[in-house]
Amino acid sequence: MINDIIMKKWISTINLVLTIGFFISCSSPQKDKKDTIKSLEEELFSDENKMIDKDKAGTLVAAYMSYADEFPGDSDTPEFLFKAGDMAMNLNMPQKAIKVFDRILKDFPDYEKAPQCLFLKGYVYENEIGDLNTAKRIYEEFLQKYPNDEFADDASVSIKNLGKSPEELIKEFEEKAKQQGEI
């Protein structure tokens, strides 16, 4: 009887040790995804690559989004979303970029780069989609919410120059330079 109790405790102890060992040896899905993202970033931005590989960049955007979907409460999620939005914008995926920036603004309004997300959303509407009315509305919203942000001057200039061609901007710049030279 005592031997049976000792044997059961010994077996329970061995099972506990094996279970703990199993969990320690296995990495978490969250860590695996972060490792995958880190590896993709290193590969995409290595010194060997002079040009960004669009397929690899798309894979990285998908990895950022997947992480954010699976771990919405993780402290890295807003940064991964920001990187996904920035990369989507630079890959000429304007609708995806806007969707990601909107997600950050909705789910992480206190994220340090939330103002930049709003500004970039206006930039995408202006420069990639060509919807100047929406861009103006977003820039004005930006100025109302973040009047002292480092991008406030850029938003003001963008509003002032919406719809102007490069030639018109050059002409205005030259005229302004002439006027300043005459004073």
39-85 pLDDT, tens digit per residue, is: 888 888 876 657 778 888 999 999 999 999 999 999 999 999 999 99
Q: Are residues 42 and 82 in the same domain?
A: yes
d(CA 121, CA 139): 9
In a domain, 178, yes or no: yes
CA angle (56, 30, 104) in 5-degree steps: 70
**Residue 23 scores a pLDDT above 60:** no
Domain, as residue range, for 53:
27-93
Q: What is the model's pLDDT at position 117?
A: 98
d(CA 60, CA 54): 10
Q: Are residues 118 and 166 in the same domain?
A: yes
In a domain, 153, yes or no: yes
Closest CA to 89 of 136, 123, 112, 48: 123
d(CA 13, CA 94): 57
Question: Which residue, 64, 93, 122, sits at the end of a domain?
Answer: 93
Q: Are residues 88 and 116 in the same domain?
A: no
Q: Are residues 32 and 82 in the same domain?
A: yes
In a domain, 17, yes or no: no
Q: Are residues 61 and 116 in the same domain?
A: no
Q: Are residues 122 and 161 in the same domain?
A: yes
- Output the average pLDDT for the chain: 85
In a domain, 49, yes or no: yes
In a domain, 129, yes or no: yes
In a domain, 10, yes or no: no
Q: Are residues 124 and 182 in the same domain?
A: yes
Closest CA to 80 of 91, 90, 95, 66: 66
Instruction: Tell me, rounded to whole angstroms, the distance of Cα 11 from its chain centroid.
Output: 50
Q: Are residues 116 and 181 in the same domain?
A: yes
Closest CA to 72 of 112, 97, 111, 107: 107
Q: What is the model's pLDDT at position 96?
A: 97
Q: Are residues 85 and 120 in the same domain?
A: no
Q: Give the three-state DSSP class for 119.
A: helix
126-181 pLDDT, tens digit per residue, is: 999 999 999 999 999 999 999 999 999 999 999 999 988 778 778 877 887 788 87
Q: Are residues 116 and 179 in the same domain?
A: yes
Q: What is the model's pLDDT at position 158?
A: 93
In a domain, 136, yes or no: yes
**Residue 15 scores a pLDDT above 50:** no
What's the mean pLDDT in 4-19?
51
In a domain, 106, yes or no: no
